[in-house]
Structures are given as C-alpha cells and as structure tokens.
Amino acid sequence: MTKSVQSLTYQERVYRFLYILLFFFLFLMGRLFYIQILRGENYRRVSEANRTTLFFEQAPRGIILDRNGKVLADNQPTFVVLWMPIELKREVLATTVEKLSGLLRLKEGDLASRLRPAVQRASLTRVIDRVPRDLAFSLLEHRPDLPGISVVTEMQRDYPQGSLASHLLGYLGKVTPEELENRLEEPETGELHGEQFLGKMGLEKVYDSLLRGRPGGMRIEVDALGRPLKILDHQKPVAGYFLKTTIHSEIQKVAEDALSRTGMPGALLAMDPRNGEILAFVSSPEFDPNLFLRRGDEESGGLSSLLSSEEQPLFNRAVQGQYAPGSIFKIVVAAAALEGKKIAPEQNFYCPGYFWLGGPGGKKFTCWKKEGHGSLNLHDAIVHSCNVYFYNLGLRTGPDVMETMARRFALGSSTGLEFPGEKKGSIPGRTMFKTGKRRWFDGDTLNMAIGQGTILFTPLQAIQMVNLVATRGKLFRPHLLREIRNPAGDLVQSESPEPLEDLSLSQETWDFLTQSLTDVVERGTGQSCKIAGIHVAGKTGTVQNPHGKDHAWFVAFAPSENPTISVSVIVEHGVKGSLSAAPIARDIFLAALSPTQ
Amino acid sequence: MTERLKPHFFLTSLRERDSLVQKIVRHFDWILFLDVLALCIIGVVMIYSASLRLKSHELIVSKQSVALLVGIAFLFLLAILNYQVFEIYPRPILMFSILLLLSVLFLGSTYRGTRAWFALGPFSFQPSEVSKLLVILVVAGWCSQKEEEMEYLKSVFVPFCIVLAHILLILLQPDFGSTLVYFPVLIAILYVAGTPSIYLLTILFYAVVSLGFLLLHTGFSLRPPLLETGSIYSFFYKGMKFGKEFFWIHVSAGSLILFLWWFLKGLRYRVSWVSFLFVFLILSVSWTSSSYLTQAMKGYQRKRLMVFIQPELDPMGAGYHVIQSVVALGSGQMTGKGLFSGTQGRLGFLPEQHTDFIFSVLGEELGYVGSSMVLIFYMVLIWRAFAIAAGSRDRFGMLTAVGIGTMFAFYAILNLAMVMGFAPVAGLPLPFLSYGGSSLVISLAAVGILLSIHSRRFTY
C-alpha cells in the first residue's frame, strides 16, 4: 500500500494552486461584468444593427413657402423601382437585366453594375428613382416577367416654380460618404442613410436638419450573409418642418425677369429696411434645382451643361459676388465729410472733366463726364455723381475718416445673414500697406473717394448700406426665415427683427443724404427709376472693369419719406448704373408699391 | 496488514455491513455530481439552441444526448471502481495511450485536415481526449511513487518525456490546440508532488520561450519593413527555419554562455559548468521546437495568431469571430435575450456556435445572470476537484485530482478568455458545454475518478 499523505505542506500546495486558478475565474467574471453590464447597451445596439437592415423610405422634406404662403418647394409622389433579388438564378438574372434595361432605356452594363451589389448581398435595392409615369405603368405590366421587381410611390422633392428663387432655395444631392461618416446620428432626424438626399446649397442646406424629417422604412431581419428573413416592422417616415420665408414671390419673379432681360449675369436684393426681411433674393443666371433630382441619361445632359456653363449659374452673386461699389460709395464719403466737418454742403468745386494730382503717383484723374460739370456743390455732386468734386472732397476728408465711416456703415464685414459662404467684401485703408513695400498714395485716396480700386462690396452689403440711410441709422440683421411650423401646422418658432448696432449721425446729415438721393432719381443720374407719385431715393454706380464692359450698380429705397422697401442691383457688364440697373429697381418698386394696390 | 496492502477493486468491504449503494450514497460528493450534471444539462440545452439554424440540428442534439448518457455510465462505473487500480498498472495504460495515438495516425479518419478521429458508425471518437486522462493517471502514478525522490532529475525527466511524446504524436495529426493542456497539467502535478521549483521553472521557461518565439515570429511576419535583408530581425526571422542562420544562432548563443561562464569564473564565482550547459540546452530545445511549430502551423492557425496580435488586421475574417463573440456576449446584458432567441447565434454571426463559442450563445440568451452562474459552476467544479485532492487518502489520488482539476480549469479559462476576446482562437472546447462526444465522455469519466477518490477518502 502506498504511504498516506497527511503532510500539511502538500495540502497547502494544492490550495495555493487552487487560489491561482480561482483568481483567473474571478478575473473572467470581472470581464464578463464589463462586457455584459457596463458595455452591454453598446453591444446590444451593435447586435441589433447586425441583424437588421433598413429598407429605407425617404421622408417628405419640409415645404418651403414664400411670405404669403405660396409654395416654393414641395413634394410630389414619384415612382421608385425596387428590386429584391431573392433566390435568383444566374440565367434569370441575365434575362431580367436585359428586359429591364430595354424598358428603362438604360444601358445593360450600367444597369448590371447598379444591380451587382444587390446581387452580392442579396438585399433590397432601389434601382431607379423618379421614374416617369408611363414607364412605371409599363414596368407594372411586365412584372410577371421581372421577378423581384416592384414599383412603389414615394414623396420626393419638387420645385413647382422651376428656377424661381433657385439660389435662395439651393438644391439637393445624394449624401456623400464624408457626410455619412461625419453626421452619423442626429437626434431630430435619425441616422443618416446612404440613399438619403441632403441640402447642398441655399436654404435646403442651411435648414437641412429641419427640412429633412425622419426617414422611415421597413426593418428587415437578415442573417450573417445579409439574406433577408422577415420584416420586423414598418416605420412611417416623418415629414420635415415647414419653412415660411420672407421672400415675396411676385417681387422675386419681377426681379428675375428684369435681370434676365438684360442678358447679363447679375444680382438683386430687395429688403424691408424696417425689419431686415429679404423680399427678393436673385442671382442671375438662375438654375432649375429639379435637375439635381432627376436620374437617367436624358436629363443629366441639362445638369452637366449647368455645371460647365461659363456664367457659373451656381455661383451665388447676391452674397458671394464682390464688386467695387463705384459711385454708390459716395453716400459713405459724403457722410464722412459732413460728420467730420471737413466741408460745408454749400462748398463749391469746379469740375473741368478731369483732376490733376501732383506728387508721387500723380496723374490725370477723369470725371465720367468728359466736358465737366462746371462749378457745383455737394448736393449736386451727388445728384450728378461728379467724380472731380469727390476727388477734392476725398483729399480734404482723408482716407482714415472715410475708412472709419465705411466700417460704421457695416461694410467690410459679414452682414449676419444665415447663409453660409457669405463674402465680407473689403474696405481699404492706410493700414493695409503698412507692412508691404507700397505706401498709401493720394491717388489711392482719390480712387477710394469714388469707390474704385481695392474696395469691394457684395450686393447684400450694398443694400445694408442704403438701408441705413433709409432708416436713419437703424440696422437689422438681414434674414430669410419668418416662421418654422411642424408638419401638423403648429408654429414652432417665429423670427423677429434683430437689431444690429445703430449708426448715429446728425439729423442734418441724414436729411441731406435723403434729399440728395431723392434728387438723384428726380433729376440726376437715376432718372430711369423715376415713378410718378412715389419719391424714390437712389444712387447709381459704375465700376470700371478692365476685363470688359463696366459693371452697373443701383441702390435705392422708396418711398423716400417713409421707406418700406430697399433694393440693390448689380448688372455685370451693364455699362452704366443709370442705363441697366436703375430700370430694374423701378420694376421692383412698381411691383411692390404699385399705386393701384 | 497483508489485506490492506492489496487494494480492493470494488467497494467490497467486509468489515462494514453497509451495502454498496448505501456506501456510495454516504460518501458520494453530491455537490460535485450535481454541479457537473447542471453543466451538462445546460450544455445540451444550449447546444439545442445554438444548432437550431443548422440542418443537422436534430442529429447534433441526439448525438450529444447519447454521449451524455454514455458519459454518465462511465462516471458511475469509475466512481464505483477503486481508482487505485490505475496506480498498479501504469505501463499498460501508457502503452495503450501511445498505441491509440499511433493508430489514429494510420487508421484515423481525416476531418478538416486533421487526422484525429476514429469513425464508429454515426459516432466518432477522438483518442487524444482519452490520452489526456491517461497521461494524468500515468504521471500521477509515477510521481506518487517518487515521494522522497522528487528532487532527482530523473523523477521530473520521465513525466516530461511522457508528455513530450504525447505532444509530438498529437502534433503529427496535426492538432495544435489539444497539446496545450499538457503543460499546465504537468506543472500542476509536479508542483504539488513537491518537485523543486528549479525544474518547474525550467519547464515553464521552456514553454514560455518556445511560445514566445512563436509569437515573435508571427509578429515579425506582420511587419515586413523590419525584415529587409541585412537587418538583425531578418536574421532571427530566418533563423526560425532550419538553415545556416539557425546554426549560427546556436553557435553565438553557445559562445555567449561560454563567455559568461568564463567571466564569472574570472570573478571567482563558483558556478558549475553543468548549469550553463543546462541553460544552453533549454534555449536550444525551445528554439528548435518553436522553429518546428512555426513550420508545422497551418495557414489558418498562423492567421489566428496574427489576428490575436493585431485584431484590426482582419475584422471580417478571423478577427470577425472574436468581435462577434464579444458582441453576442455583451448584447445579452443582464438577463439576456431569452432562451432560443439570441440573434447573433441564430442568424449565423457566431462561428462554431455549438462547439467553441457555445458560451457566447449562452451569454447572449441568458445574460450576465446565466453566464456568471455557469462561471460559478465551473469555480465549484475546480474547488471540488482540489478539495478532493487535499482530502485524498493517498498521494496518487491527490495528484490525479490535481491533474484533473487543472485540466478542467485550463480548458474553461482558455475557452472563456477566447470568447471574451482575451486569447487567440485556439479551438479548445468548453468542458461539459461544448458539443463533442469524446470530450464529454472523458470529462464525465474524469469526474467519476474524482468521485471515486472522494468516496474512498476514509477507507484504509
């Protein structure tokens, strides 16, 4: 018989070994706790995502209305072709693709490449969006020969007015991989889906998260190979919020027609100076945002010509175009001179049609009127837009005072419109040459005094400048949105005027400016904007353009006693403000203030 | 006295009047038995759940049930049989074990590239599972008879050779995963038997160095820039194959050790040259065996190792299994998704869901409550095994119980670590839970031996 073991040391060894092993188990228990309790929520979500695939259904985007409730963007039922490749054999697939390509008038190769991922993953796929009605019906007729194909309707974005207010509305596009990565989940709109359309420009982009709604669809259970097993539930899509804009669609229409009649690119803004509401927002040429939503070969031609056009229709000139202001800057120069007490309004200067500047950088500076204006005071110099008077005035006032006043007129900085990509323009000054080799010369002062050279405005800044004159120093943030309503129609949010910093000038200066600008239209350079029965105050501008014909500016407000609307127009290559820009403003005032109404 | 020297084969004590059944009931370790029975039943239920989506669902469940019945029969048989019988005949047991492993190499049927099974009609039988238990018995028997001589090299060398022979035979199948269990079992038995720690450290050193080189080799192959010709890494990398680099590494390691010996001698430290030779031999042997392993490893095994080192390497391939397993476990949360309604397993996201990854299915369907309960069952099992070892009446029983307990613990810990994403996918089953007849029968038989040791703890 073997010796019996009573030795304690053996038992100690046994237990010591046991404790080591139990320690491992406790460690695993802790790991289990971490995985299942602490991180369980997370893994539950991963496993849910594993087992389900969403057959996605677009939510109707929120409707965009003008200030009177007229529809600018809504949704139309469209036909969508779906394909569910369940237990499809190779031969069946080939004949289906062949038939389908014939019916859809698509190339077989294109269609096959569109269907390939669906075949590989055996998942439900959208074959084509926005199928024309006749095509949809012929597909339905042939359905017995097309296994797996189904046609459903879905509400999709539509712009009933075509290109009207296209730069305001913007356009939609398929979500890009980067967007998918960066904005995976948002509380309001749910998870972003690869089939989803997002706003890429304009209001569609700015208020995308409001407009988008919450997409719905069928949750389908799939196995590890992605094969659909059963439908779990169906989630109704939730429509996006309604946006009521400040736009007045009649004024908008008039403005677009008038601008397009010139045949030149340009921009126009109309605002209510009393509260900052934008009534018209035009950048010409316009584009049809519906083009971005269509698929198929026959329409994409329109889109590609849009994208390749030399006039750059997608460029939003109203907030991104930067132009030298020309003579419309004289409003600021006059205000600077008067407020700085550099001149009395009665002071006369003689205009022979040119101005000789001596000293370094000196040369002959001309007036637009070659024969000269003769002797005239400040009021008449504004009315007739005399450059020589303003050369003298500029030299007396000096660049620093002019620059300060321009900045007080909210120029050279963004206006605070909710649009992305707004340009800031530029106001030159002596500081800009401090570091470089070049100095500020008197010639620069002269150029600045008549709004030429390195000074730049956007049309939106120009209208804010004239709004200040109209309201005598009260400025509001320009905005495009009046109300946000939920799909049921309840008010969610309404915008109220948001005052910006006031510009306080003396009453005499305001009076003088209003009177002078009114006389510009009554008997000066802006006569082509004259309207019987209404006093319009305005200022023309012409921008020297080394690359072609001069650009034409006109800024105005009316009625000048109690302004309710202001306008700024720029027509590229419009030659002269008085010729091309001012008549457009007249159309706007007629439409807005029509004496018959 | 003479009567005592001869062990009873069965419980046929004449001194006590109790019947066999009474005796078994009185000294039976009910905790261990019920614990194991609970694990087995949970196992069958979970295999039922995990195989629901498979075509061979019914076959799998019925085969496992048959194995369970056979296993329980073995359990009772071995519980009644006096375990000391295995001590008397170590040689036939060893011969039988070696013969089994040899014959499967020639007569066995091949499945997934591994020749490890004997086909018996609808059932198949894996000899390496039997060998594990037999090796425990043989090694425990050897060590129990060398009580006073455990410090001799020979006492350690013989068990080491027995284990090495088995490992080699199993590697020839080739089945890498099954060989792993031998090291911890050997170390546990030797440790408890009182082997000086220097020997244990040597074995540990050998195992760590050879596995470490294996991992290092895999790690190198993941970073090709390191392996540009001429770099020291590429030299070592090439040295993993039998070639001139292999030879030079040995020469340089040998001369380094020789230099160290000479240096210490110069400092008048008296260290025997034998220990230096010993260090060199261990290094050489472990280097050689890891070189052998790197070449014997199959593509998928190499990939698993790589993925273990760098899981993001292959999130949809081999790394996918581990990720999906952790997702399955975690998604069970506190109370689970309900029996038979786990999605990860049912929809095929888990690989090997009824064998190696059965615990993931369990964790998904029964949650933390269920999975920690199973963990506690395993802890009870290990505790009982070691308590039986400590309370055993002889050295053989103690060492056998320690070996069996270590075997269970090793399998459970490695499998659980694997499904929790802590260890490479080594293909080790979870005892009592994973599908696999041979494993279940042998595990139950091992429990039978434990019960036998326990019920004879007072018999003198």
Residue span of the structural domain in which A228 resides: 52-106+118-136+153-245
Q: Is residue B11 part of a domain?
A: no
Q: List pLDDT tens digits, range B91-121.
A: 999 999 999 999 998 888 887 777 888 888 7
Judged against a pLDDT cut of 80, whether residue A400 lies above it is answered with yes
Q: Is residue A563 part of a domain?
A: no
A99-103, A477-481, B391-395, B410-414: lowest mean pLDDT where? A99-103
Residue for token pair 């602490």: A38
Show the 3-state SS of A517-538. Answer: HHHHHHHCCCHHHCECCECCEE
Q: What pLDDT is stored for residue A140 in this prediction?
A: 80
B residues 332-361 closer than 8 Å to A (CB)? 332-334, 343-344, 347-349
Q: Is residue A385 part of a domain?
A: yes
Q: List pLDDT tens digits, range A66-79.
A: 999 899 998 888 88
Residue bearing the bigger pLDDT, B43 or A84: B43
Minimum Cα–Cα distance from A12: chain B residue: B390
Q: Are residues A206 and A344 in the same domain?
A: no
The average pLDDT across A518-546 equals 91
A29-38, A345-354, B35-44, B203-212: lowest mean pLDDT where? B203-212
Q: Is residue A165 part of a domain?
A: yes
DSSP one-letter string for B352-398: TTTTTTHHHHHHHHHHHHHHHHHHHHHHHHHHHHHHHHHH-SBHHHH
Q: Which two tokens stand for residue B156?
A: 């350690």
Residues comprising chain B, all counted: 460
Residues comprising chain A, all counted: 597
Q: What pLDDT is stored for residue A397 in this prediction?
A: 92
Contacts of range A10-15, beta carbons closer than 8 Å, 24 or more positions apart: A10/B192, A10/B194, A10/B390, A10/B395, A10/B398, A11/B390, A13/B191, A13/B192, A13/B194, A14/B192, A14/B386, A14/B389, A14/B390, A14/B398, A14/B402, A15/B386, A15/B390
Q: Do A51 and B398 touch (CB under 8 A)?
A: no
Q: Is residue B5 part of a domain?
A: no
Pairing of strands A354-356, A374-376: unpaired
Q: Residue A231's closest CA among A118, A88, A86?
A: A86
Q: Is residue A580 part of a domain?
A: no
Phi, psi of A170 (to 5 degrees): 85, -155
* Distance set, CA B103 to CA A22, A197, A479, B138, B173 (Å): 38, 67, 89, 20, 11
The domain that holds A166 is classified in CATH as 3.90.1310.10
CA A288 to CA A290: how far, in whole Å? Answer: 5
Q: Do B368 and A36 touch (CB under 8 A)?
A: yes
Pick among A36, A43, A120 to test the B interface (most B CBs inside 10 A): A36
Phi, psi of A481 (to 5 degrees): -110, 135
Q: Is residue B12 part of a domain?
A: no
Assess B402–A contact: CB distance below 8 Å, yes or no: yes
The average pLDDT across A96-112 equals 76
The average pLDDT across A101-112 equals 75
Q: Which helix (H) or strand (E) holds B90?
A: helix B90-107
The average pLDDT across B358-365 equals 94
Q: What pLDDT is stored for residue A220 in this prediction?
A: 75
B residues 236-255 closer than 8 Å to A (CB)? none
Q: Are residues A231 and A359 in the same domain?
A: no
Q: Which of A245, A262, A277 is the last residue of a domain?
A: A245
Q: Is residue B324 part of a domain?
A: yes
DSSP-derived 3-state class of residue A198:
strand
Extended strands (E) in A344-475: 349-351, 354-356, 364-366, 374-376
Q: Are residues A238 and A333 in the same domain?
A: no
Q: Are residues A327 and A447 in the same domain?
A: yes
Q: Which two tokens stand for residue B389?
A: 């070892």
Q: Is residue B7 part of a domain?
A: no
Number of H helices and E strands in chain B, helices first, is 20, 3
The average pLDDT across A131-150 equals 78
Q: Is residue B317 part of a domain?
A: yes
Its sign, for the CA torsion B262, B264, B270, B275, is negative
Minimum Cα–Cα distance from A4: chain B residue: B394
Assess B93–A contact: CB distance below 8 Å, yes or no: no
Q: Do B331 and A47 touch (CB under 8 A)?
A: yes
Q: Do A40 and B334 touch (CB under 8 A)?
A: yes
Q: Are residues A515 and A394 in the same domain?
A: yes
The number of distinct structural domains making up chain B is: 1
ipTM: 0.85
Compute the count of residue pairs across chains A and B with CB atoms less than 8 Å apart. Answer: 154
Phi, psi of A228 (to 5 degrees): -70, 140
Q: Which helix (H) or strand (E) holds A479?
A: none
Q: Are residues A208 and A346 in the same domain?
A: no
Among A13, A18, A47, beta carbon nearest to B328: A47
Among A2, A31, A41, beta carbon nearest to B144: A2
Q: Do A2 and B87 touch (CB under 8 A)?
A: yes
- Which residues, listed in sequence order, are joined to residue B50 by a DSSP beta bridge? none
DSSP one-letter string for A138-178: HHHHTGGGSTTEEEEEEEEEE-TTTTTTHHHH--EEEPPHH
Pairing of strands B114-120, A349-351: unpaired
Residue span of the structural domain in which B317 resides: 22-455
Q: Residue B104's closest CA among B36, B42, B154, B178?
A: B178
Q: Is residue B246 part of a domain?
A: yes
Which of A385-389, A433-437, B351-355 reaches the highest mean pLDDT?
A385-389
Among B84, B330, B372, beta carbon nearest to A43: B330
Q: Are residues A328 and A458 in the same domain?
A: yes
Q: List pLDDT tens digits, range B143-162.
A: 888 877 777 777 888 898 99
Minimum Cα–Cα distance from B330: chain A residue: A36
Which residues in B lie closer than 8 A to residue A226 (C-beta atoms)? Answer: none
Assess B382–A contact: CB distance below 8 Å, yes or no: yes
Say if CB B444 and CB B74 are below 8 A apart: yes
Residue A312: which region, alpha, beta or left (left: phi > 0; alpha: psi -120 to 50)?
A: left
* Band of residue A297 on the pLDDT scale cut at 50, 70, 90: very low
Say if CB B414 and CB B428 are below 8 A apart: yes
Assess B390–A contact: CB distance below 8 Å, yes or no: yes
Say if CB A163 and CB A288 are below 8 A apart: yes
The average pLDDT across A445-470 equals 92
Q: What pLDDT is stored for residue B304 in this prediction?
A: 66
Assess B179–A contact: CB distance below 8 Å, yes or no: no
Q: Are residues A235 and A326 in the same domain?
A: no
Q: Is residue A579 part of a domain?
A: no
Q: Is residue B383 part of a domain?
A: yes
CA A253 to CA A281: how far, in whole Å? Answer: 10
* Band of residue B373 on the pLDDT scale cut at 50, 70, 90: very high
The domain that holds A456 is classified in CATH as 3.40.710.10
Q: How far apart are the first and last CA of chain B?
A: 11
Minimum Cα–Cα distance from B193: chain A residue: A10
A13-27, A310-324, A463-477: lowest mean pLDDT where? A310-324
Q: Residue A121's closest CA among A53, A187, A188, A179?
A: A53
Q: Do A18 and B382 touch (CB under 8 A)?
A: yes
The number of distinct structural domains making up chain A is: 2
Among B145, B332, B349, beta carbon nearest to A36: B332
Residue for token pair 């000789």: A356
Q: What pLDDT is stored for residue B435 in this prediction?
A: 92
Q: Is residue A250 part of a domain?
A: no
Q: Is residue A58 part of a domain?
A: yes
**Count of beta carbons in the 10 Å neighbourhood of residue B21:** 9
* pTM reported for the whole predicted model: 0.59
Q: Is residue A231 part of a domain?
A: yes
